[in-house]
Amino acid sequence: MEKEKVYVFKAALKYRKGPWRRIEIKGNQTLGDFDHIMREAFNHDTGDHLSEFFSGRVWHSERFGEIEPGGSGSSAKKQIDQLGLTEGNAIEYVYDFGDDIQHVITLEKIVELEKEAKYPHIASKNKPRYRYCELCKKQGKNTIATWICIECSEEEQREVLLCEDCLEKKHEDHYADEILY
């Protein structure tokens, strides 16, 4: 019997250098499964917003079909090994049609299934380059920033980075985004 195939992808944000995730998924798994691990890998909500895979550039190439929050949708059952991908090919993925967060996903290699593990999974990721909370820093403490206050950043025309504690205490009710490392 032919061995099962594992597809090894490297997924990265299209417009931000730094964060990437290597994702392994079996050929007989689906875009619904892939969507789920993409949301987990890039801290996207699983219960909110549509997403979609494209054969090439987002909005400018063949659409594989929307995936709804929760993993249903027109392309959710399409299998990875039915996408016609060969090593080196890149597809793209958009999360949230409003915020339009685009990702490039390159197929690095296709290997035979060696060990039974839970698929899909995140096999490796970039080494994080942490940044620090500016309010803690003023008090001489180095605390990793996990939030960017969008409101203050836009107002002050610079990145206002905060830890969770300082966000809650000093930027309560401000619109903020979690920082992906």
Contact set with Zn ion (CB under 5 A): 133, 135-136, 143, 149, 151-152, 163, 166, 171, 174
Handedness of CA 27, 31, 32, 33 (dihedral sign): positive
Closest distance of CB 22 from Zn ion, Å:
31
Nearer to Zn ion, 131 or 174 (CB): 174
Identify the helix (H) or strand (E) that includes residue 12.
strand 5-13
User: Nearest Cα to 11, choosing from 123, 95, 106?
Assistant: 106
Q: What is the identity of the amino acid at 130?
A: Y
In the chain, what is the straight-line distance between the N-terminal and C-terminal CA atoms, in Å?
41
Closest distance of CB 99 from Zn ion, Å:
19
In degrees, to the nearest 5, what angle opens at C-alpha 179 toward C-alphas 12 and 106?
A: 5
Measured CA to CA, the distance from residue 63 to residue 75 in angstroms comes to: 9
Nearer to Zn ion, 100 or 165 (CB): 165
Nearer to Zn ion, 30 or 143 (CB): 143
Nearer to Zn ion, 107 or 133 (CB): 133
Nearer to Zn ion, 122 or 148 (CB): 148
DSSP state of 87: T
Closest distance of CB 130 from Zn ion, Å:
13
Closest distance of CB 48 from Zn ion, Å:
22
Closest distance of CB 172 from Zn ion, Å:
9
